Structure 1
Amino acid sequence: MRVHVFGNSPSPAVATYGIRQAVCDHNSDIDCDDVCDYVKKSFYVDDGLVSKAHENELISLIKRTQARLQDGGVIRLHKIVSNSTAVLSSFPPSDLAKNITEIDFSSETPCIQKSLGLSWNVVKDVFSFQVSTDKKPYTKRGLLSTINGLFDPLGYVAPVILGGRLIMRKAIQDNNLGWDDPLPENLERMDRLAKISYASKEAIAAVVYIRIYESTGNSHIGFVLGKSRLAPTHGHTVPRLELCAAVVATELAAFVQKYLDIPSQSTYFYTDSQVVLGYINNEARRFYVYVANRVDRILKLSSRNQWNFVPTERNPADHGTRPVSTINMKDCKWLTGIESGLQRNIENQHVQFKLVEPEEDVEVRPVVKVNKIEVRKANLGGHRFERFSSWNRLVLAISCLKRIANKYHKNVQTDTRNNVEFKKAAEIMILKEAQRESYSKEIDLLKTDKSVARDSSLVKLSPILDSNDLLRVGGRIRNARLDTGKKIPIIIPGKHHIAMLLVRHFHQLISHQGRHLTEGAVRSAGYWITSGKRLISRVIHNCVRCRKLRRPTEHQKMADLPICRLTPSPPFTYVGVDTFGPWSIVSRRTRGGLSNSNRNI
């Protein structure tokens, strides 16, 4: 197929693909040269725009592109226009645009060429905008035709067009006016527009500049792209509009970075709103949906350290929020930018912008504090048991409390239990409280028919729960004809205070016998105290009566010997003799009887 249909919807795409395929048939971008890049990035359908630092580079690129298009697709690249005489003279007149050969660069006569819808004055190398001189009726239809007659895709004269768009919006708001009805007198003159829409609530604007550095170190700022949009008539505050302008700025920057091959790290953003800077740098508070979505969009296209503050009087984008007359547009900061206002302040590189009055900002969600209240069933608490030094006294005190409580409880009928039954109930209550404090996890697992954890200290005892929800030692002798306490004794935590009270109680019952008998008494009563041997030994060691009874036999210490016993002297010097008697004693037997004699001692 050698003929392409003109005017169909896919025609521009097909034409673009054909031109690119004619000059570049490489499978990878690595193999592409400058001709491929020129056709891919600088062509729009059949128009190509390119700028080079040196004339020879431009001439070589255009000639090689002509040859590549001719060889690859028999496509002729012509209608060449340039603001350089050397470039134009390098091509034959047949390849140049019409009337381009008659250009005199030394004269002031303009030479206007259309380039992608824009009027390019080749002699002065500037874009110009021409407004139709045909008079149109001052109606909605005529006003819309005049506004759309200015084609400005890059936003050069956006502040000028803004004035007409504001008038158009005010005219549309009047539903009583038809499209061909004359507009009221208060909208007849453009010079009144500055008074009507001076406030920044009327529009938002963003503008992109590029800074070019020379080898000498000098730099120049040039206008690249600008955008001005009408703000909604209601429902938007100034901080919201400033945030929307920041979103537009990031979108324009991403667009320019893509088509000019500028890395995103070398881009800086400026705004005169500290509220917006606080939104962007915020990491502590949450926003409502409107602000949150736009901040998220900004941070996807930029980073927090790229945003800076610029005063309003030095912000060139501020001129895009209010109309500017055509007379003042030449020297407007919208086109020239501000050198000092766009320089990055090195001292403020690490400035952290905080939220401005977050407690009063309606866009910031209030800090919600959640207090968790856990309601638990009231218990006696094992710490109260430490006030007692005797098991009997503790049981007696709890039984009295239960009796008194039952008397004043409305839902409980008259209790006919005797003292023994109350004491038994008190013992169960005390034991359950001690077990709940030490083995609450094990009890909860057993209540849900689950086994205790492997890291539990009771896992070797195979604990079970009885009808009173008391932990007891499991085992294989539950079918034996023994008392329940002997078969499955109640588990008592050895570090709890009631364990010591029980040991003391049974130690006194067996008249302060030794460790083995005390341990047997505790077991016979139906209790299994964890680490019981160590506890029993400690109780016996601290028992005052046991210490007295088991004290070793004491011996009288003899006094010192007298001096006479220790001084050397002749025999019988210090000898004393005591005599008493006589005593009648049997000395011998005779035939007639016994013979007695007297003796003195």
Structure 2
Amino acid sequence: MADVRQMYRQILIAPNHRDYQRIFWRASPHEPLKEYRLNTVTYGVASSPFLACRSLQRLAEDEGESYPIAKRILLSDVYVDDVVTGCASLEDAQQAKSQIIALFNRGCFQLRKWVSNKSELLSDLPAEVCLTGTVSLDESDSKTLKVLGLKWDPTSDSFLFEIKAIDRICTKRSILSELARIFDPLGFLSPVTIHAKSLIQKLWILGIGWDQTPPDEVIRAWNTYQTQLLQLSQLRIPRKITCENVRSYELHGFADSSETAYGAVIFLRVTDAKGQVRVFLVCSKARVVPLKRISLPRLELCAAVLLSDLYLFVRDSYLSRISFDATYFWSDSTVVLSWLRSPATRWATFVANRVSHIQSITTIECWHHILSGDNPADICSRGQFPNEILHNSLWWTGPQWLSQDRDSWPSSLGTTSPDEGVIVNMEARKLVALVTELHNSERIDEPTVFDDLISRHSTLPKLINVLSYINRFINNSHSPLHANRNKFLNNVERHTALMQIVKYVQNHEFKTEILNIKSNKPLLKPFRKLNPFLDEQGVLRVGGRISRSGLEYEKKHPAFLPTNHQLTFLIIEFIHRNYCHPGINTTHFLLLQQFWIISAKRAIRNCLSKCVHCYRTNPKPVQPPMSDLPSFRVNQVKAFSIVGVDFGGPFRIKLGPHRGAKIDKAYLCLFICLATKAVHLEVVSTLSTNGFIATLRRFVARRGRCNVIHADCGTNFIGARNQLSSLMEQASNAEKIEFKFNPPSAPHFGGVWEIQIKAAKSHLYRVIGDQVLTFEELTTLFTQIEAVLNSRPLCSISSDPNDLSALTPGHFLTLEPLTAVPDQDLTNVNINRLNRWQLLQSFHQNFWSRWKHEYLNSLTQRAKWTKDSKPLNIGSMVIIKDENRSPLHWPLGRVTNLISGADGVARIAILKTATSQQIQRPLVKLCPLPIEQ
């Protein structure tokens, strides 16, 4: 055993990742803080254990060809930074040690804390890198947590337990704490620890609090248990479980259960060349019974499951070291053995699941019966105090006959008593026989058994299987001597059932055509081209022109199917699902191998449109028609009295004009008048609620108070609901402003400001390119962009020079576009003040008159969303569109309520998700599943 010296500090981090490991440090509180960058793998980082272990694996892959023994040890016998391995001889150990040191040196790793049960193996190593005394196998770094820990004594090459007395008041907390201190990974002390686990469960059932005083009987049992724990310090368990010149290895597993716990224990039986037998305890595991009451036979079965899993762990652990010649499993429950000897499908769900699990790991030939007195697992299921287990040979070496020849082993497989037979049969699966009479009905219009079968089954295989078993039952009833007792259906039975139900559907749907064929009367034109005929079973098939080809019979003469029938739908759906959801043409080609469907593509298209799997790859959202414009968009109001607000960015800015200034982020806050489309741009340093409120105050100070603000559901507006309720309401109450929020994930509700954000960004990027501006420069540039946006025409521009100039948002702010050429200086001209004021009023009224006649008329037509899709209903299942994930991962939801607009058209839905969360989404983000009939 050895330890890698400072393993983390020997592994360098990629240079481009080292900036993520910057820390502040100072040796004392009086020194200034210094910033350090850690270049190696660092303790406390989540990725560090993986990086360390992966580095050792890479070392073995790159350099292991020269050191094959060390490579195997490095890949299988290293736990984090500890190398724990062994060899059969001292010579092999010397070679392994040399290769290990050389291989680790190739990776610049140094090994220390060497310890071995053979002192001569470490004689050539310096004393400072070797350890003396016992070695703790508990990986905990805290000495206070090593009160009870598994240790290894290299001198005697045995495991021991270090026990220290701790005087604590008996509570549920202290019992659980003491139990957690016992480091027993192999289960040597399972009979002892199960006592404490049973006490914990008892306190849990009684409802005792963590620090409440338990009942007296629990205190007495715990005091006895805690006192005797000190005796475990005398325990010495040999580490080595093999011997020289081994002839055979055998694994023997035992399982048992009591009313309080169940457990499993595994022994290794080793036979040497002289025929001497030695038995070693390998490991064990014990669990308390569930709180829910379970019968004792079921608990015995749970113990058998635990034994199977424990065997799987042992087998995989020794796979590269020991080859087991035989494996035996022992149980004293004849009920469990009876369950295991039968197929899992025979039993009820609880027993069937566990029997199936056991049978998937073990074989029934390995299971044997044992008397309860010889079962070591009985000890770990009932528990023992420390003084009882110290010298219990049944626990440490198994039953006496296990060390003897096989002639002395129990030979009986166990006989089931009448009472136990009743218990066995109580877990049998209940079978319900369905007796159905098949007959030819002259009255085809009446529902028959075939109609009932087709309507009750949603998949073709299930329909065919049910009908096949009905046919088998009828045939077996008619010919008991030649009854078919096979467990599974064969292809002939399935094909017969399929043709039987196809024939019934044809007789129902193609009654006229079949009668015409039988009476040699002319057929209708669609059938006449196909030259149909009735085969020997009476199935209507296509005659066609390729009867002389080498194709199979059903490919040359496919059976007819109607267009609109449930059986046709089931067959199309089966082909579509079975061949990985192909398209219409491929599905049609596959169907032609056996069936000819009238108007096939129409039937296939109808079926595929209802395939949920295909729909989820390309879902189509609901698209309600575009609503009328709200009143504040089409009525004369003061500029910026009703506004919309949105954020854009981020944009990179410098925190100063000097070279080397730090780079930070800034954002654009856009206010737009919803009547005149005038915009107001502000530069904001943060997206927080406080940052928005400060921006709002600047806007109100420069443009005047607004009455209503429309915004989306950004986190700075409505994400932190409590903060908005306190800060925003204070701000709105002070300014008498009303906030109205659009539904979540509905940017098209705010298209009027989204397009302006896009325009502002477009102007900005064309001007600055890759330049990084200061905050003042960015503010100036956005102010200029604001002037440009407020000078854009609201209507189309006329090319006639006699027409008036185009109406812009700037006319409603300054009576002219904000980018207009300066007028002539008329300050020295004497104009009557009243006439001047009336002139300005005339200008203003003229602008609003043009706004009504020119601009409003341009808003009459709907550019898109003119058609109404199928409306959603309350209770509909929908796919919720999420642009951040692929369509197959979009979540499902159920519509619980619909919110309609003033025109009565619903455009918002309240949904309930799979996590029972109530969310609000626009209908354009919802794709209804094609499951409603």
TM range (shorter): 0.5 to 0.7
Q: 2:206 is matched with which residue?
A: 174
Q: 2:217 is matched with which residue?
A: 186
Q: 1:340 is matched with which residue?
A: 401
Pairwise CA distance, 1:358: 5.5
Pairwise CA distance, 1:344: 9.7
Partner AA of 1:112 in structure 2: T
Distance 1:279 1:303 in 2: 13
Pairwise CA distance, 1:447: 7.9
Query: The residue matched to 1:229 in structure 2 has which SS?
Result: strand
Distance 1:368 1:267 in 2: 40
Pairwise CA distance, 1:475: 7.8
Distance of aligned partners of 1:36 and 1:153 in 2 relative to their CA distance in 1, 3 Å threshold:
same
The 5 Å alignment of 1:230-309 reads 230-261=288-319, 262=322, 266-283=326-343, 286-309=346-369
Distance 1:341 1:300 in 2: 27
Q: 1:38 is matched with which residue?
A: 73
Distance 1:192 1:142 in 2: 12
8 Å CA contact 1:281–1:354 kept in 2: the answer is: no
Pairwise CA distance, 1:292: 1.1
Query: The residue matched to 1:62 in structure 2 has which SS?
Result: helix
8 Å CA contact 1:193–1:323 kept in 2: the answer is: no
Partner AA of 2:312 in structure 1: A
Distance of aligned partners of 1:149 and 1:199 in 2 relative to their CA distance in 1, 3 Å threshold:
same
Q: Deviations over 1:530-553 (max 9, x none)?
A: xxxxxxxxxxxxxxxxxxxxxxxx
Q: 1:208 is matched with which residue?
A: 266
Q: Deviations over 1:260-292 (max 9, x none)?
A: 115687432221211111111103862111111
8 Å CA contact 1:208–1:226 kept in 2: the answer is: yes
8 Å CA contact 2:267–2:280 kept in 1: the answer is: yes
Pairwise CA distance, 1:444: 6.2
Partner AA of 1:144 in structure 2: L
Partner AA of 1:148 in structure 2: A
Pairwise CA distance, 1:113: 1.2
Q: Deviations over 1:478-535 (max 9, x none)?
A: xxxxxxxxxxxxxxxxxxxxxxxxxxxxxxxxxxxxxxxxxxxxxxxxxxxxxxxxxx
Distance 1:93 1:359 in 2: 66
Query: The residue matched to 1:212 in structure 2 has which SS?
Result: strand
Pairwise CA distance, 1:185: 0.9
Distance 2:440 2:325 in 1: 58
Q: 2:622 is matched with which residue?
A: none
User: What is the aligned counterpart of 2:427 among 338, 355, 363?
Assistant: 363
Pairwise CA distance, 1:202: 0.4
Q: 1:76 is matched with which residue?
A: 110
Partner AA of 2:111 in structure 1: L
Partner AA of 2:219 in structure 1: E
8 Å CA contact 2:257–2:296 kept in 1: the answer is: no
Distance 1:350 1:81 in 2: 48
**TM-score (ref. length: structure 1):** 0.56
Query: The residue matched to 2:280 in structure 1 has which SS?
Result: strand
Distance of aligned partners of 1:128 and 1:353 in 2 relative to their CA distance in 1, 3 Å threshold:
same
Q: 1:9 is matched with which residue?
A: 46
8 Å CA contact 1:205–1:320 kept in 2: the answer is: yes
Q: 1:59 is matched with which residue?
A: 94
**TM-score (ref. length: structure 2):** 0.37
8 Å CA contact 2:369–2:410 kept in 1: the answer is: no
Distance 2:204 2:344 in 1: 43
Pairwise CA distance, 1:300: 1.6
Count of equivalent residues: 380
Partner AA of 2:137 in structure 1: S
Distance 2:161 2:61 in 1: 36
Query: The residue matched to 2:426 in structure 1 has which SS?
Result: coil
Q: Deviations over 1:104-125 (max 9, x none)?
A: xxxxxxx321124431122322
Distance 1:246 1:344 in 2: 26
8 Å CA contact 2:269–2:278 kept in 1: the answer is: yes
Query: The residue matched to 1:68 in structure 2 has which SS?
Result: helix
Q: 2:129 is matched with which residue?
A: 95
Distance 1:41 1:206 in 2: 26
Distance 1:154 1:242 in 2: 22
Aligned: 1:19 with 2:82? no
User: What is the aligned counterpart of 2:153 among 111, 115, 121?
Assistant: 121
Q: Deviations over 1:377-409 (max 9, x none)?
A: 79xxxxxxxxxxxxxxxxxxxxxxxxxxxxxxx
Highest RCO, 1 vs 2 (Cα 8 Å, sep ≥ 6): 1
Distance 2:324 2:361 in 1: 9
8 Å CA contact 2:191–2:384 kept in 1: the answer is: yes
Query: The residue matched to 2:386 in structure 1 has which SS?
Result: coil
User: Which 5+ residue runs of structure 1 have no aligned equivalent?
Assistant: 101-110, 379-439, 453-460, 465-473, 477-601
Q: 2:172 is matched with which residue?
A: 140
Distance of aligned partners of 1:10 and 1:201 in 2 relative to their CA distance in 1, 3 Å threshold:
farther
Q: Deviations over 1:186-211 (max 9, x none)?
A: 112228999xxx98110010112222
Pairwise CA distance, 1:375: 6.4
Q: Deviations over 1:404-433 (max 9, x none)?
A: xxxxxxxxxxxxxxxxxxxxxxxxxxxxxx
Aligned: 1:112 with 2:134? yes
User: What is the aligned counterpart of 1:164 among 193, 196, 221?
Assistant: 196
8 Å CA contact 1:13–1:45 kept in 2: the answer is: no
CA RMSD across the alignment:
3.7
Distance 1:138 1:191 in 2: 7
8 Å CA contact 1:34–1:61 kept in 2: the answer is: yes
The 5 Å alignment of 1:414-453 reads 448-451=511-514
Distance of aligned partners of 1:334 and 1:231 in 2 relative to their CA distance in 1, 3 Å threshold:
same
Aligned: 1:152 with 2:152? no
Partner AA of 2:362 in structure 1: S
User: Which 5+ residue runs of structure 2 have no aligned equivalent?
Assistant: 1-11, 13-38, 140-149, 226-255, 443-502, 523-933
Distance of aligned partners of 1:172 and 1:299 in 2 relative to their CA distance in 1, 3 Å threshold:
same
8 Å CA contact 2:308–2:362 kept in 1: the answer is: yes
Pairwise CA distance, 1:242: 0.9
Pairwise CA distance, 1:362: 2.8
Distance 2:51 2:41 in 1: 8
Aligned: 1:221 with 2:279? yes
Distance 1:353 1:42 in 2: 46
Identify the structure with the greater strand proportion.
Answer: 2
Distance 1:16 1:159 in 2: 35
Pairwise CA distance, 1:74: 0.5
Q: Deviations over 1:193-248 (max 9, x none)?
A: 99xxx981100101122223323232322111110000013321111111111111
Q: Deviations over 1:128-148 (max 9, x none)?
A: 222331211111111111111
8 Å CA contact 2:134–2:153 kept in 1: the answer is: yes
8 Å CA contact 2:277–2:403 kept in 1: the answer is: no
Query: % of aligned pairs identical?
Result: 25
Distance 2:376 2:513 in 1: 74
Partner AA of 1:74 in structure 2: C
Pairwise CA distance, 1:321: 0.5
Q: Deviations over 1:347-395 (max 9, x none)?
A: 99996988952576432123444433456779xxxxxxxxxxxxxxxxx
Q: 2:901 is matched with which residue?
A: none
Distance 1:208 1:141 in 2: 32
8 Å CA contact 1:269–1:308 kept in 2: the answer is: yes
Q: 1:320 is matched with which residue?
A: 380
8 Å CA contact 1:208–1:223 kept in 2: the answer is: yes
Pairwise CA distance, 1:249: 0.9
Distance 2:212 2:508 in 1: 85
Q: Tell which structure's C-alpha radius of gyration is larger.
A: 1
Distance 1:35 1:137 in 2: 50
